[in-house]
Structure 1
Amino acid sequence: MHLELWLAFVATTFFISGTPGPNMLLMLSHGTRYGWQPTLSTMAGALTGLALLFTLSAFGLAAILAASAKLFLLLKLVGAAYLIYLGIQCWRAGDALDEPNIRGDSAWARYRLGLTVALSNPKAILFAAAFLPQFVDPRLAQGPQWALLLLTFFVIEAGWQVAYAAGGTRLAAWLHRPGRIRSFNRFCGTAFFAVGGMLALARR
C-alpha cells in the first residue's frame, strides 16, 4: 500500500472513530461507572462486534442490506430501539453510578453489552463495504492491504475507546456531589436517545 493512501486512511479513520457514537458513549458511561480497567471487557465486546460486522460485510451482507430496503429498515429499527432502551435505563439509574439495570455488574455482562451495542448498528456493515474499499489499490495484492487497513482501524478504534473510558474515570471524581450523578445519567440517557433516533431516521 502506498504511504500517502495509508496516511489518508489514518487521518480519516481517526476523526470518524473519535466522533461520539453508541460505542464511545458506552465507554464513557462504563468508564465513569466502573473505571477504565473494568471497561476493558466492554471494549473487547465492542471490538468483537465490529470484527463480526466487518466479516459479514466481507461475505456480502453489505450488498444485501444495500439492495433490500425492508431488511435494512428492520435491522436499523431494532438497533435504534435497543439504544433507546439503554437511554431509558440510564434515566432510571437516578443517583446511582452502578445501577444493576445497566447490566454491567460483571466482566461477562459488560462484554455482552459492548458486543450488543456494536452489533446494533447495521450502518457499520455499510461503512466497512463503502469506506474501506476506497483505500484499496486494485493494482496491488488485496490481502495485505485489507490486513493493514483493518489492523489500523482497530488500533485507532481501541485507542479512542480507551480515551473515552479514561475520560469517564476522571469524570467520576467530579460526579460525587449531590445531583451531578443524576445529571450525568440523564446526559448519557439523552445521548443514547439521540443516537438511537438518528439511527432510526438515517438513510442507507
Structure 2
Amino acid sequence: MWSYLPAFLGACLLVAASPGPSTVLIIRNSLRGRRAGLLTVLGNESGVFLWGVFAALGLTALLEASEVAYDVMRVVGAVVLVAFGIQALRAARRADDASLADAAGPADPSAGGWREYRAGLLLNLANPKAGIFAMAFLPQFVPAGAPHLTTMLALAAVWAVFETGYYATYVWGVGRLRRVLSRPGVRRRLEQVSGGVLIALGVRLAIES
C-alpha cells in the first residue's frame, strides 16, 4: 500500500482542488471565523470518510445500480444546495450594518459549533455524486492481494485527513484577509456570489439525468 500512497495523495490533491459546493460553504463559513470554518471542514470530511465506508461496504453501489435511489438522493441534494444558497442570499441582505456572524446567522454558543459541523456534513452526504465517486476512486488504489475492506477504510481515512489539512489552508487564508472581506460591501457581494453559486449547483443537480 505504501508504494501506492504518493499517487493516491496526488489524486486526493486534484480532487480537493476541484471547486465544488463544499468549497463554497467552507469559504463562506470561514468568513464568520476560523473556528466556524474548521468545524465546517471537519463536517465535510466526516462525510468524505462516511462515503468511503459506504463504498468499502458496497452500499454506494446501490446508487449506481438503482436509478430510483440515485434520483431520490439527487433531488434531496438539490434541495439542500438551494436551501444553503437562499440562506446566503438572505444573509447578503442583512449584511449592511451587521457583523459577519450576525449576517450569516448568529451561532448559538450552547450548540458548541454543531451548526457549522452539521452544515458541512449535510452538504457532503446530500450529494450522490460523492458516493459514486468514492466507489470509483478508492478501489483503484487497493493493491492486489490486499484485504479489500480494511484497505478501503484506511484509504478513506487518509483521504479525509489529507483534505482536512488542505481545506484548513483555505480557512487560514480567509482569516488572514478577514479585515478586508468583512467590509459590508465586500461581505454582501461574497454572500451574493456564494448564494448564487450554490443555487446554480443545486439547479444543475436537479435537472441533470
Structure 2 CA distance for aligned equivalents of residues 102 and 176 of structure 1: 15
The alpha carbon displacement at 1:61 in A equals 2.2
The alpha carbon displacement at 1:9 in A equals 1.4
The alpha carbon displacement at 1:100 in A equals 6.5
- C-alpha contact 1:36 1:166 (8 A) present in aligned 2: yes
2:207 equivalent to 1:170: no
Structure 1 CA distance for aligned equivalents of residues 190 and 73 of structure 2: 29
2:186 equivalent to 1:180: yes
The structure-2 alpha-carbon separation of the partners of 1:59 and 1:103, relative to structure 1 and needing over 3 Å to count, comes to farther
TM-score by length of 2: 0.84
- C-alpha contact 1:79 1:120 (8 A) present in aligned 2: yes
Q: 1:121 aligns with which of 127, 135, 139?
A: 127
- 1:28 aligns with 27
**What is the one-letter code of the residue matched to 2:83?**
Y
After TM superposition, the structure 1 = structure 2 runs for residues 20-169 of structure 1, keeping only pairs within 5 Å, are: 20-33=19-32, 35-94=33-92, 95=95, 96=98, 97-99=100-102, 102=105, 104-106=107-109, 107-142=113-148, 145-169=151-175
**What is the one-letter code of the residue matched to 1:11?**
G
Which consecutive residues of structure 1, in runs of 5 or more, have no partner in the other structure?
none
The structure-2 alpha-carbon separation of the partners of 1:103 and 1:63, relative to structure 1 and needing over 3 Å to count, comes to farther
SS at match of 2:101: coil
SS at match of 1:20: coil
Structure 1 CA distance for aligned equivalents of residues 90 and 101 of structure 2: 12
Query: RMSD across aligned C-alpha pairs, in angstroms?
Result: 2.2
Of stretches 11-20 and 101-110 in structure 1, the one that deviates more from structure 2 is: 101-110
TM-score by length of 1: 0.86
Structure 1 CA distance for aligned equivalents of residues 88 and 106 of structure 2: 11
**What is the one-letter code of the residue matched to 2:120?**
G
The alpha carbon displacement at 1:28 in A equals 0.5
The alpha carbon displacement at 1:150 in A equals 2.2
- Number of residues of Structure 1 aligned to a counterpart in Structure 2: 201
SS at match of 2:36: coil
**What is the one-letter code of the residue matched to 1:182?**
R
The structure-2 alpha-carbon separation of the partners of 1:102 and 1:177, relative to structure 1 and needing over 3 Å to count, comes to closer
Q: 1:197 aligns with which of 190, 194, 203?
A: 203
Provide the identity percentage. 35
- C-alpha contact 1:32 1:171 (8 A) present in aligned 2: no
SS at match of 2:64: helix
- C-alpha contact 2:55 2:135 (8 A) present in aligned 1: yes
